[in-house]
Amino acid sequence: MKFDFKLATVAAGFLGYVFAQSAERKIAIIGAGAAGSAAAYFLNQLATEAGVNVNVTLFEKTNHIGGRSITINAFDDPAQPFEQGASIFVPINYVLYESMNAFGLTPRDPDVGSDPVMGIWDGNSFVFTINENHPEWWTNLKILLRYGPTAPQKAKDLVTATIGRFLQMYTPQFFPFESLTERAEQLNLTAVTGVTGQHFLAANGVGTLYANELIQSLARVNYASNLPNMHGLCAMGSVAAQGAIAVQGGNWQIFDEMAQRSDAHIQLDTAVTAIDKDSSGTKFEIQTTSGSTPGTPSTYPTSFDNVIIANPFQFSGISVGEDVFSTTLETIDYVQLHVTIFTSTKKFKPSFFNLPSWISAPGAVLTTLAKTDTPTSGPDGVGKPGFWSLTTLGKATNPQTNQQENVYKIFSPEAVTPSFLSDLLGGTVPSTFTGGSSPISWYKATVFHSYPKTSPRTTFQDPIVGEGVYYTSGIEAFLSTMETSALMGKNVARLIVDDILAAGSGSGSKMVKSRESDSERDSQGVWWEKQSVLN
């Protein structure tokens, strides 16, 4: 008999209310990015539905909610925001898409205002270009003539099948999960993460030229890596951008709304420095510092029953007591991505791309390896192009001239130099980048630890890392997106509420075990259901 998850939730919620309505579960969430904000939001939502009492405190060391999802204001004008990273999501990103609609946020087409011509450059020449203003039949013909009749369709089918498997993680049969490794094995996704993107595509009949040019250029702009250096699931995720949208004013607003609607005690500019058990050994004490120039850490006045660490632990600077973790938190090698955004009245100089002066350069430039490159050529494998991507985001009005200028964004493994920009724009860019006769009127450069280097692997950090302690960033080595981080936040929220209900009813982990066994029985039905959604 199929396990009725909704009925079980109602029944368990009633039991939780009867046995534990007076007990308050105090929960600390460290980090208000996608995962932490989602955890707070869904803890409030799920606890309310189940009739249990949670008291959540959300700690964020910066003054910004949304983590790596952040906008930057051209000319420092809040009326002219542009995405600094995490630019898009798609309708099958259910947590983000449904939250955007629930919060009444306005979606926008991320391509509006951008340049319609996209080229794939290998450091020598453009191997392929697409103009979105051209008829679709013309674009399809160009793809057919360069890549043949089978590679594009095989790649599309492979993406559909792989993402279909991943989407089962949202269904009652497979959600929530206590072990990401076990869930990936059950869905046969370790067969995808265990090999390189290059191997996965080749093994499924996707032509080498199509993989090395079109798919690899998308992998590089999404994960700053080449197909031989990343696992197959990230490669497939790079291509799955059909129907891409963004939120008007910035995607970070989804997470800000989550945090504000969670009823959590939001502590901005508050860095957690230490976690330890209290004298009773049953609750957690947290040390914090506050402000831009923090002083000596102090003990936060509340002790907590649960702690959710919702940021990469290796960058947190948090010390932990010896009884906090029951497992070692893996240190993952993250990509260091330089994001450079600037404005200029100039367009890209054709000669920079070895084009004759009468041919305009594409306004969106993705890159791939040159024939003489290897997957490790240049810093972090960027190869002869020297950068991962160069895109035109749109237009912004210069307040000094009241003229519209182009807004450009560069992803690169190293800091962009004035010499590089001088060659790109055809004018002299000074060491200050702006000022004087510089072709650049406004400039902003930032460095992110943007996402893990996703080499092939079949095991992942599980979300439960100690008794009462949860960790969300393990999912980033599996698939690093705003959506998957939010999904893991929702997952740990569900695990905690289930734990509260089980404790109140005295049923231990029986509810979780029942759900696990049911997922094995119903996996095939969910697979076909999700395939129909994707098609």
**Interatomic CA distance for residues 340 and 463, integer angstroms:** 34
- CATH number for 72-167+195-248+333-452 (one of 3.90.660.20, 3.90.1170.50, 3.40.50.2030, 3.90.1150.10): it is 3.90.660.20
**pLDDT, averaged across the chain:** 89
For the chain, the domains span 5-68+258-331+456-534, 72-167+195-248+333-452
Per residue in 406-415, pLDDT (tens digit) is 999 999 999 9
Q: What is the pTM assigned to this prediction?
A: 0.89
Nearest to 68 by CA among 413, 264, 311, 313: 311
Residue 9 has pLDDT above 50, yes or no: no
Average pLDDT over residues 209-236: 96
Which CATH topology does 5-68+258-331+456-534 take? FAD/NAD(P)-binding domain (3.50.50)
- Give me 412's structure tokens: 């690169």
**Interatomic CA distance for residues 164 and 535, integer angstroms:** 10
Average pLDDT over residues 506-515: 43
CB atoms within 10 A of CB 120: 24
Average pLDDT over residues 131-146: 93
Share of the chain above pLDDT 90, in %: 81
Per residue in 27-62, pLDDT (tens digit) is 999 999 999 999 999 999 999 999 999 999 999 999
Per residue in 310-346, pLDDT (tens digit) is 999 999 999 999 999 999 999 999 999 999 999 999 9
pLDDT value at residue 430:
97
Residue 260 has pLDDT above 80, yes or no: yes
**Interatomic CA distance for residues 95 and 481, integer angstroms:** 12
User: Are 358 and 113 in contact, with CB atoms under 8 Å apart?
Assistant: no
Q: How confident is the model at residue 293 (pLDDT cuts 50, 70, 90)?
A: low
Average pLDDT over residues 184-195: 98
HEC string for 284-295: EEEEEEECCCCC
Per residue in 224-252, pLDDT (tens digit) is 999 999 999 999 999 987 788 999 999 99
pLDDT value at residue 18:
44
Residue 176 has pLDDT above 90, yes or no: yes
Quote the DSSP letter at residue 362. P
Q: What's the half-sphere exposure (Cβ side, CA atoms, 13 Å) at 56?
A: 33
Quote the DSSP letter at residue 215. I
Residue 7 has pLDDT above 50, yes or no: no
HEC string for 224-285: CCCHHHCEHHHHHHHHCCCCCEEECCCCHHHHHHHHHHCCCEEECCEEEEEEEECCCCCCEE
Among 137-151, 429-443, 504-518, name the one with the lowest average pLDDT. 504-518
Residue 507 has pLDDT above 60, yes or no: no
Residue 214 has pLDDT above 70, yes or no: yes
Per residue in 97-114, pLDDT (tens digit) is 999 999 999 999 887 777
For tokens 């947290």, name the residue. 286
